[in-house]
Chain A
Amino acid sequence: MTDEELLDVFGRILGDLLSDGAVVLTMQTQRQDVPNWDSFAYVNFIVAAELELGIKFKVADIESFDNVGAIVAKARELLR
């Protein structure tokens, strides 16, 4: 999957979770930039992303994601 597609997928998942239509994410977007992306929504987001892409993030990784770009990079790595 390309990075654009991953950004699209993540944007769609986040939009579905926050019932916000389509959220536009950049690689630099941080959680605090998106309204209502609180810790509860974050857990759900990780779960939904894992389910959709068929991957599993490590617990240390989840804690270390500073921005969406980091999540995209890790997802690319796991999908290889």
Chain B
Amino acid sequence: MTWLPIAADFRGDLRAAAESPLAVDRLEKLARLSQHQLGFLETMQLDQALRPVATGQRAEFSTVKLAVLGGATVDHLLPAIRVAGLRRRLLIDIHAGGYGQYRSAALNADSTLRNYAPGMILFSLTAREILAAVPLTATSSEADAAVEGYVDDLRLLWRTVRKDLKATVLQQTFLDVSEPLFGSYDRVIPGAPARVIARLNDRLATAAAEDGVLLVDIACASARDGLDSWFDTVRWLQGKLEIAPAAAPLYGELVARVIAAQRGLSKKCLVLDLDNTLWGGVLGDDGIEGIVLGEGSALGEAHLAVQRYVKQLKDRGVILAVCSKNDLATAEAAFDRHPEMVLRRSDIAVFVANWEDKAKNLAAIARQLNIGLDSVVFLDDSPVERARIREALPMVAVPELPDDASHYVRSLAAAGYFEAVSFTADDRHRAAQYRANAERDAMLASSGSMDDFLRRLEMSVVFGPLTSLDIVRVTQLINKTNQFNPTTWRCTSEELEAIARAPENITLTFRLLDRLGDNGLVSAMLLRAQPGQPDILDIASWVMSCRVFGRQLEFEAMTIAVEVARRRGARAFIANCLPTPKNRVISSLYPDLGFTKVDDVAPLAEGATRWMLNLEQYVAVRTHIARKTT
């Protein structure tokens, strides 16, 4: 795990954390310690120090209940999952199923798994079962049929747990620990183990995509790292450990990444240094002609590879920013004029080049993009800068880079900051959206007043009920949005589908367009009918992307919702507001919209408030947003 720094004094820090009297303080110290490179033993020690304080609700940490059902021994992997979760401020409580009993645990109505009621279930299986079912002499169709049958079995398990437990399913891909029988020819023989497992992983990916199951791809990791780092024969023979204990920390990382991605905790923005990161040499000293970039030298190729990878990240939906100690004009000129530059100025959403402290700049970048600093990754070749940012802004991810630029891409990629569980159209167009945002900001600066600006934007909203096409995007929105989110209610796509399908509920999605472009699906509202009172709707969830704050969309959206509801015969809305450290922006949302506070009901949680709106008395606020139906 080379992208993490090495702890200077692990034992000392661990002791300091373990002896801290306050549980919250201990948790913070342990979380800080988890951000370092940890070997197998250190992971176990950290986990032991973590266990006593990982129970109960903690303010800055989210809890996850994970069940791990294994086909082989998995107990040695659990500490690593917990520690990797802690690294992402997740407290993962794990229930491990009995050895090899994953089927009965999943299918049995009264198993301990059911009683545990996990939110996520990880199936960690080995390829031994499928290999036993396919003889060496099988034909292609027989092998395929066997693989299909096995995958169908798995799908039955997935469906059962999702239906009965409403849990998200994670499926681990299958490690190929088989030995070659023919040599290179194994790949051609349908019944050869290598081919069977390859086919299995392939079918698994398709099935998982169809069923909304998340993959934990250790097959790919083992191919990259080498099977020997992932599988130790002696451990298998000694105790049926499929995944080598030495690989446990990395395994935990992979699992925690997927869990975090599903909850919207992946990083969103990559901030790049320029000198010796995107090109070799220092621009200020060497000039545009002197920086090393491009074909012709190994170093130039290395930096070119960095740029290519970063560009692909952008295409994938990661926001790019630049933060460099340079003269702004010169730096931008390099982007425009250097013939070998792969990245263009238009790829960069926020370009900051000055001589000020990088920590201040990073904070400004995050503010401008309206994202939290905990969604930012900072790539810099200088150990001094990296250490500075780690200290000043501990929530920013700063990967440790090796001395040789050839390995930068590997370090960044291996860190898995941008793990994703979906790829939507919005992701594809994110860079363009941010560019349009920049233009909007320019427009705002040149406008006389806010009103003037909004008028010039010529905004229109496209709204409609939640369709199956939008499920993925809306799930993502609901799980990722923290600021405009009065209830911070999270859900899986299955739950969302269930709510949308119920006829007594109203679901609305809002898409905001303006003169400069399409902002995409930026808001969603779920109105659920109250049991026994079908004419009172509860605003179960209302999320809006931070990109479109201040455009009056919330007023227009409420007006639309009121109209739709009245047409359906509803009389009132009720809404709960649970304040969190992140959603302070909307603390006066409901009063501004004309809701009145309801005092006579017990609040749902500490500090929660309840609001009510009589639809007859709603006074629509005039906005600069026009309507467009789907």
The residues of A with any CB-CB pair to B shorter than 8 Å are 13, 16-17, 19, 39-40, 43-44, 46-48, 51-52, 56-59, 62-63
Pick the contact of A57: B44, B234, B246 (CB < 8 A): B234
Flag if A47 contacts B45 (CB, 8 Å): no
Interface string of B245-265 (1 = CB under 8 A from A): 110000000000000000000
Does residue B22 face the partner (Cβ distance < 8 Å to A)?
Answer: no
Contact, CB under 8 Å: B234 / A58: yes
Give Cα A43–Cα B39 distance, bound, in whole angstroms. 16
Q: Once the chains are docked, how many angstroms separate the CA of A17 from the CA of B48? A: 9
Interface residues of B in 38-72 (CB under 8 A from A): 39-41, 44-45, 48
Q: Which residue of A lies closest to B75 (CB)?
A: A40
CA gap between A56 and B234 in the complex, in Å: 9
Across-interface contacts of A16 in B (CB, < 8 A):
41, 44-45
Contact yes or no, A17 B44, CB < 8 A: yes
Q: Which residues of B contact A52 (CB under 8 A)?
A: 41
- Secondary structure of the A side of the interface? helix
- Complex A-B, nearest 7 residue pairs according to Cβ-Cβ distance, in ascending order: A47-B245, A48-B41, A59-B234, A19-B48, A59-B237, A43-B239, A16-B45
Least CB distance, A54 to chain B, in whole angstroms: 12
B→A interface (CB under 8 Å) = 39-41, 44-45, 48, 75-76, 233-235, 237-239, 241, 245-246
- Chain B residue nearest in CB terms to A17: B44
Taking the nearest CB of chain B, how far is it from the CB of A47, in angstroms? Answer: 4
Give B236's nearest chain A residue, CB to CB: A59
In the complex, how many angstroms separate the beta carbon of A15 from the nearest chain B beta carbon? 10
Q: Are B241 and A43 in contact (CB under 8 A)?
A: yes
Known: A19-B48, A51-B246. A43 touches B41 (CB 8 A): no
B159–chain A nearest beta-carbon distance, Å: 33
| Residue contact A47 to B48, C-beta cutoff 8 Å | no
Instruction: List, in ascending order, chain A residues with CB within 8 A of B239's CB.
Output: 39, 43
Report yes or no: B41 in contact with A51, Cβ–Cβ below 8 A: yes
Q: Which of A13, A17, A48, A62 contacts B234 (CB 8 A)?
A: A62
| 13 further contact pairs, Cβ within 8 A, besides A17-B45, A48-B40, A48-B41 | A16-B41, A19-B48, A43-B245, A47-B245, A47-B246, A51-B39, A51-B41, A51-B246, A52-B41, A56-B234, A57-B234, A62-B234, A62-B238
A47 to B233, CA, bound (A): 13
Contact of B245 among A39, A44, A56 (CB under 8 A): A44
A17 to B41, CA, bound (A): 7
Taking CB atoms, residues of chain A closer than 8 Å to B241 are 43
Given A39-B239, A43-B241; A51-B234 close (CB under 8 Å): no
Closest A residue to B18 by beta carbon equals A19
Shortest CB-to-CB span from B352 to chain A, Å, is 43
Tell me the smallest distance from the CB of B618 to a CB of chain A, in Å: 61
Q: How far is the CA of A40 from the CA of B238 in the complex (A)?
A: 11
Known: A43-B76, A43-B239, A47-B245. A19 touches B234 (CB 8 A): no
In the complex, A62 Cα to B237 Cα: how many Å?
Answer: 11
Considering the chains assembled together, what is the distance between the CA atoms of A57 and B335 in angstroms? 55
- 25 A-B pairs (CB sep. < 8 Å): A13-B41, A16-B44, A17-B41, A17-B45, A19-B48, A40-B75, A40-B76, A43-B241, A44-B40, A44-B41, A44-B44, A44-B76, A44-B245, A47-B40, A47-B245, A48-B40, A48-B41, A51-B39, A51-B41, A51-B246, A52-B41, A56-B234, A59-B234, A59-B237, A62-B238
Distance to closest chain B CB from A11 (angstroms): 14
Chain B residues whose C-beta falls within 8 Å of the C-beta of A39 in the assembled complex: 239
* Least CB separation from A48: chain B residue: B41
Most B Cβ at <10 Å: residue of A43, A52, A57, A62: A43
Identity of the chain A residue whose Cβ is nearest the Cβ of B245 in the assembled complex: A47
- Cβ of B410 to closest chain A Cβ, rounded Å: 23
Complex Cα gap A51–B229 (Å): 12
Contacts of B39 in A (CB 8 A): 51
**A58 cross-chain contacts in B, Cβ below 8 A:** 234
A75 CB, min distance to chain B CBs, angstroms: 15
- Distance in Å: Cβ of B42 to nearest Cβ of chain A: 9
Q: A48-B40, A51-B40 are in contact. Are A43 and B45 (CB under 8 A)?
A: no
Cα(A57)–Cα(B44), bound, Å: 21
